[in-house]
Amino acid sequence: MNINDVRQFTDETIEEYRDICIDDGRKPGGVNRYLDVYSNLGNMMVKWHYAATNPVSNVRDAKGAKAEELFYLTKEEMQRYFDASWKNYTVYGMIGFNTGGRPSEILTRELRDIDLEHDIVLFTNKAKYGFQLKDHQRRSVPLFAELKKFIIKYFAGRKQDSLLISTEAGDPYKEGDFRSLMTRYMRPKLEMPKLVPYTMRHTYAAHLLFKTRDIKLLSHQLGHESIRITHEWYGHLLKGYAETALDA
């Protein structure tokens, strides 16, 4: 299906595309990632005055996707992860479980992004690595004591422009490459077939929500453009959560 004109960019055409993908046997999660891209394009159309409202704002997700995709670790499973991890996997776990960063954000962080004086972790664009934050939303999250202690010990004497996680050549990992390594080495050791780099983000989100019951705070911490996105992924974790809160 081709879309050659902005007038074709509607709920109906994008839902048709969704149904074609599902009929072709694509997994709901992959389909929904494409739908998220189209939703972001719709938001940009509004920003650039091509449309008054997002023309694809009402597109339904592929059935069952986001809530059913969600896989997070318990505290005991997190400890199992660290017992089995080493080097880059340990660093990734410490940052991911304690910040909720997206994989691409974590894999491009430098030591300078850990502000030990103000106890915050910064997520910013990294032009030299060709990395831009999703929706260009620079943000900061609290630097928890456990992560601060780890950074001070593990990275003592390192230069501020040092990558926290890097290949042997000193370059940042591509997200897909790091996912492949985690799949190859960490999944078998832990016997967790669903473990992926995004698991750390989901784990951070789930535990923060259990602790605070504050989905707005979680949305801010995760850097979501809309609280509705946060609710789609994590709202089911709050039993009885009022839909009216989304409009508050």
CATH number at residue 195: 1.10.443.10
Task: Tell me how far apart the alpha carbons of residues 62 and 26 are, in angstroms, rounded to a whole number.
Answer: 10
Q: Number of folded domains in the chain?
A: 2
pLDDT of residue 242: 43
Domain co-membership, 59 together with 84 = no
Q: Say whether pLDDT at 24 is over 70.
A: no
Cα distances (angstroms) measured from residue 226 to each of 37, 40, 118, 229: 14, 11, 27, 6
Domain co-membership, 79 together with 180 = yes
Of the candidates 175, 80, 173, the one whose C-alpha atom is nearest the C-alpha of residue 134 is 175
HSE, CB side, 13 Å, CA atoms: give it for residue 27. Answer: 6
Structure tokens at 36: 């998220």
Q: Please give the residue range of the domain that contains residue 49.
A: 6-65
Domain membership of residue 145 (yes or no) is: yes
Cα distances (angstroms) measured from residue 200 to each of 44, 145, 172, 193, 245: 29, 18, 18, 14, 26
Q: Read off the pLDDT of residues 171-183 as tens digits, 9 standing for 90 and up.
A: 999 999 999 999 9
Cα distances (angstroms) measured from residue 244 to each of 56, 67, 214, 233: 22, 19, 14, 17
- Range 85-88, long-range pairs (CB < 8 A, 24+ positions): 85/186, 88/165, 88/166, 88/173, 88/178
Domain co-membership, 99 together with 180 = yes
Domain membership of residue 80 (yes or no) is: yes
Q: How many CB atoms lie within 10 A of CB 171?
A: 10
Top pLDDT among 239 and 229 is at: 229
pTM surpassing 0.75?
no
Domain co-membership, 87 together with 113 = yes
Domain co-membership, 36 together with 109 = no
Task: Give me the phi and psi of 139, to 5 degrees please.
Answer: -150, 170
pLDDT of residue 133: 87
Domain co-membership, 191 together with 118 = yes
Domain membership of residue 208 (yes or no) is: no
Top pLDDT among 30 and 161 is at: 161
DSSP class of residue 64 equals T
Task: Tell me how far apart the alpha carbons of residues 228 and 218 are, in angstroms, rounded to a whole number.
Answer: 12
Contact present, 97 and 110 (Cβ < 8 Å) = no
Domain co-membership, 123 together with 144 = yes
Top pLDDT among 232 and 73 is at: 73
Could you give the angle at the alpha carbon of 71 between the alpha carbons of 109 and 22, nearest 5°?
100
The residue assigned the tokens 């089911």 is 236
Domain co-membership, 165 together with 85 = yes
pLDDT of residue 22: 65
Domain co-membership, 38 together with 88 = no
Q: How many CB atoms lie within 10 A of CB 63?
A: 11
Amino acid at 149: K
First to last CA, the chain: 38
Q: Read off the pLDDT of residues 122-175 as tens digits, 9 standing for 90 and up.
A: 999 999 999 988 766 789 999 999 999 999 999 999 999 999 999 999 999 999
Q: Say whether pLDDT at 204 is over 90.
A: yes
Task: Tell me how far apart the alpha carbons of residues 158 and 89 are, in angstroms, rounded to a whole number.
Answer: 19
Q: Of the residues 159, 176, 201, which one is the last residue of a structural domain?
A: 201
Domain co-membership, 170 together with 96 = yes
Domain co-membership, 117 together with 57 = no
